[in-house]
Structure 1
């Protein structure tokens, strides 16, 4: 039966870095000269954050202490099609957007990055409009797009 050649209990010095077959540390998949890849979660979070910042800039007094949050899915089902897209808590001044229903239960006529972004922005606009008791078109008529 072969024995382990390593006699000391310490790992070899090369194992401090992720070194496979002497190649050194692993680098990003895209390489040093290309931007990092963006996944669906990052895309969703950045779209919600940029839309919330835009609306806070237009309505600074009304949205000054409103907290925007992103959750994966709602706990209960009470939406028109069985799944909520967002939840507004006016008492605690909080808006929770549910990422998975917004991303996966959406029927877009063109499934590309622009239309996904517009749908997410529309959900943020409708949630803020529900909080403020206004029509989404009244928040920013030049930016709101309804699907």
Structure 2
């Protein structure tokens, strides 16, 4: 009988160890599944970031304002603003801005613009263009909007 109790004790101990080991494997599987889930989330976040970083092409035609003349096309593509067939009234301090609905105060001043140069390109690297829906030509000295192009 002593041998049977020892055998039974050894069996119970080995069963407990085996079941305990199975539980650890289950935990590892859960951890792996959680890690895979986290990795999927990170992949999705990275894809969203990539989409955000890649400029979608937006463009619009300039319309004159405030008695001034502005014509041509504004295009945003590949982190660049391109003005084509551009011409505007002469101004002492003309600049190109990215704005939301023409709001200069909250807009992003890009650079000086040449009123009679038909083709001009400006770098928009490090600018989140999704915040803006217009390209605005503004005279800083006179505080007058010469024209703007609604981007679509």
- TM-score scaled by structure 1? 0.28
- TM-score scaled by structure 2? 0.27
Bigger relative contact order, structure 1 or 2 (CA pairs below 8 A, ≥6 apart): 2
More strand by share: 2
